[in-house]
Amino acid sequence: MSAASANEMWGGRFSSGPDAIMEAINASVGYDQRLAPQDIAGSRAHAAMLAACGIITPEDAAAIDAGLVQVGEEIARGEFTFSPALEDIHMNVEARLREIIGPAAGRLHTARSRNDQVAVDFRLWVRDQCDAAIAGLDALMRAFVAQAEAGADWVMPGFTHLQTAQPVTWGHHMLAYVEMFARDKARFQDARARMNECPLGAAALAGTSFPIDRAMTAAALGFERPTANSLDSVSDRDFALEFLCAAAICATHLSRFAEELVIWSSAQFRFVRMSDRFSTGSSIMPQKRNPDAAELLRAKLGRILGATMALFTVMKGLPLTYSKDMQEDKEQVFDAADTLMLGLAAMEGMVRDLTANRAELEAAASAGFSTATDLADWLVRALGLPFRDAHHVTGALVKLAEDQGCDLPDLSLDQMQSVHGQITEAVYSVLGVQNSVASRTSAGGTAPENVRTRVAHWKEVLG
């Protein structure tokens, strides 16, 4: 496109075309073309409203609508040529519309600015991403629930500080992530509800003198209502920030489990075996089986945290209303959304294919004095010791077992009574890991019966 034709978009305000460097820094169509479906949907709704309000003729509205449909089809087929000289998706669409239907295309921008146009396009796109994230989380949660159901009574070590703490069940561990991802889903749902207001009609920043019907365009685009303040409408990017914050927390949860998979699949742990679909080999060490998918996911999710901080940095110093800085909002959100959806899909696949090594899990649960707390609790219940005294006695028994090179259940009754003379044979009933997990029946505890109840709950919720 020539400088002269590019200048026509600006109504003759400038006498010379943009410098190549300015064009490069100013143009956004290289990435905001992703907003094409939303841009066309918003424009079709706007044109229909203009005609309904008598602002443009029905004939012009029909021509605009048909032309926009054609533009959308050309873009979908990959036949559309995007021009950086036209800066963004909005001007590219409008220029092609003019080529198709002629001067009537110029009426489309009546009572509208690129400021409210991009605000509605971007909001529609982010709303769609919330829906996609919610669907992805549902699928991932189902995968974790399936693992929990299969291993409701499988015993494994529970950790604090990555040190063996107390026995828990595999199902309970899997359900911990279901709870996390359920909160993530709720955050996306909340964010979607808050962003579901339509900024179209705010125009550049002050509204318009044309007798438009903002409620009509809001309804046509699936919004609950129009936004209430024109200044806020064009300057708000809270919806994008909130999406990124929800995505960042979700990414943190995904990364935590990815880290566990890396640890658990190692030769030192052997808790799980990841499927061939999500593992790779070594170019030099034939015995290696690397959890590359989990490692890559752990790294890629950091991009979401970076995108969140980047957009906060863009927005933190902007006065009302629109500033060109805000053009830098989209690439960060696009990349974060892509990364999140890849992460959700990859993790769902890894969890569904995951094979837990039940024997290794139980062996590890039985090691490291994992039933020491059960012993202390028994001393309180059976002997009436204050818990701090019971804690001291248990510590002495753990030291004795360490000195003997055995675990607590392997100590003889005489050895136990050498530490506290009132200990009886009944103590052995609480020292097995199966007995330990079965006893943890408090609300939210790891007992298999609790796990099965919670599995049933989530299966009903998720359908």
- Which residues are part of the catalytic machinery? 161, 282
- With beta carbons less than 8 A apart as the criterion, state whether 446 and 454 touch: no
- With beta carbons less than 8 A apart as the criterion, state whether 125 and 35 touch: yes
CA of 403: how far to CAs of 214, 399, 446, in Å? Answer: 79, 6, 31
One-letter identity of residue 212 = I
Closest CA to 241 of 393, 344, 126: 126
- With beta carbons less than 8 A apart as the criterion, state whether 171 and 151 touch: yes
CB atoms < 10 A from the CB of 235, how many? Answer: 22
The CA distance from 14 to 22, in Å, is 14
- With beta carbons less than 8 A apart as the criterion, state whether 174 and 84 touch: no
Token output for 204: 């550049």
CB atoms < 10 A from the CB of 334, how many? Answer: 18
Angle at the Cα of 256 (from 463 to 247), degrees rounded to 5? Answer: 65
The CA distance from 168 to 437, in Å, is 6
Angle at the Cα of 240 (from 236 to 243), degrees rounded to 5? Answer: 140
The CA distance from 69 to 308, in Å, is 34
Look at residue 122 and give its three-state secondary structure: helix
- With beta carbons less than 8 A apart as the criterion, state whether 97 and 13 touch: no
CB atoms < 10 A from the CB of 78, how many? Answer: 6
**Sign of the dihedral through C-alpha 203, 206, 211, 217:** positive
Look at residue 380 and give its three-state secondary structure: helix
Look at residue 408 and give its three-state secondary structure: helix
Distance separating the N- and C-terminal Cα atoms of the chain:
54
The CA distance from 33 to 393, in Å, is 69
- With beta carbons less than 8 A apart as the criterion, state whether 49 and 212 touch: yes
The CA distance from 87 to 22, in Å, is 11
- With beta carbons less than 8 A apart as the criterion, state whether 159 and 111 touch: no
CB atoms < 10 A from the CB of 185, how many? Answer: 22
